[in-house]
Structure 1
Amino acid sequence: MRALSSVSALCAALIFVSIPARAEDPVETTRHIIEDQITAFLKDDAETAYSFAAPGIKAMYPDKGVFFAMVKKSYEPVYHPGNYAFGRSRSIDNGAMIYHEVLISGRDGKDWTAIYQMTRQPDGGYKINGVQIVPNTDSKGI
């Protein structure tokens, strides 16, 4: 009887081991990266915010201080949003590139739409490859 219990336990363990692990959802993964960068901006943590930038962005802004100054000047709604929420997302080429729409209410009361481009890196991780922000003129407010 003891041998039968051991065999049953071993079979049960093998079933769980043979079930493939669920691959991470790249849309969800990249959404968390964007949230983490926004959190870093809100804390004025240039080093952490810069760590999420793709190599192409780092080539244009090779220093975290220069990068941070550019974001403060040109991307104020992203740098210090009042509130934000994720809108639509789109995955291209089996997750090689992910676009996220982020709806932002600026601290000045203006509404913005930010489109984040996320690119998969050679190590399989994702980085922010660019952000385009446009005023949201369709917002009716609450």
Structure 2
Amino acid sequence: MQRLLLTILICLTPVFAFAGEAEIRAAQSSIKGQIEAFIAGDDARAYSYAAPNIKRMFPTLERFMAMVRQGYQPVYRPRSLAFDKAVELSGETIMQRVLTTAPNGRNYEAVYTLKRQADGTFRITGVSLREAASLAI
């Protein structure tokens, strides 16, 4: 019985690991999509990546974009960008670390949180920025 249970766990482990990787890739795709929309000047598409909690705080596209332009230049207009560590906090929430260089040449660490929505997509629930000494991954 123990041997059967061990065999089942060994067989299922790659499936669980893959599911986590798939979720992380989906979250990264949302982050990348929003940043690409910022760069392209497609404000409506950028806003579409915001989760409902963000849209409640910034109920109009204009207010959302004003907040982004004022406080999030490192992800609004990055010189460079690299995904670093990601953690699946639950099956519904991902935390993704992004290393970026702002337009002024300073390095930043952006920590994104994303939550899976009812339609299966991951939407951005928050971004925390802090200046970093370097972009070493």
Please state which band the TM-score falls in when normalised by the shorter chain: 0.7 to 0.9
Q: What's the offset of the Cα at 1:42? A: 0.6
Distance 1:133 1:54 in 2: 18
2:13 aligned residue: none
Distance 1:131 1:140 in 2: 18
RMSD after superposition: 1.8
Distance 2:51 2:85 in 1: 22
Matches within 5 A, 1:81-120: 81-93=78-90, 95-120=91-116
> How many residue pairs end up in the alignment?
118
Write the letter of the residue equivalent to 1:81. Answer: P
| Cα distance, 1:71–1:90 mapped onto 2, change above 3 Å | same
1:16 aligned residue: none
2:45 aligned residue: 48
2:67 pairs with one of 66, 70, 75:
70
1:37 aligned residue: 34
Conserved? CA contact 2:92–2:115, under 8 Å: yes
Q: Tell me the percent identity.
A: 37
Distance 1:140 1:76 in 2: 16
Write the letter of the residue equivalent to 1:92. Answer: L
Structure 1 runs of 4+ aligned residues shifted over 2 Å read none
The superposition leaves residues 65-112 of structure 1 with CA deviations (integer Å, 9 ceiling, x where unpaired) of: 11011100010111100000000000012x210011000011211000
2:127 pairs with one of 124, 128, 131:
131
Write the letter of the residue equivalent to 2:115. Answer: T
Higher relative contact order (CA 8 A, sep 6+): 2
Using structure 1 for the length normalisation, give the TM-score: 0.78
More helix by share: 2
Using structure 2 for the length normalisation, give the TM-score: 0.81
The superposition leaves residues 7-49 of structure 1 with CA deviations (integer Å, 9 ceiling, x where unpaired) of: xxxxxxxxxxxxxxx8681100110110010000111211000
Consecutive unaligned residues in structure 1, runs of 5 or more: 1-21
Distance 1:50 1:133 in 2: 19
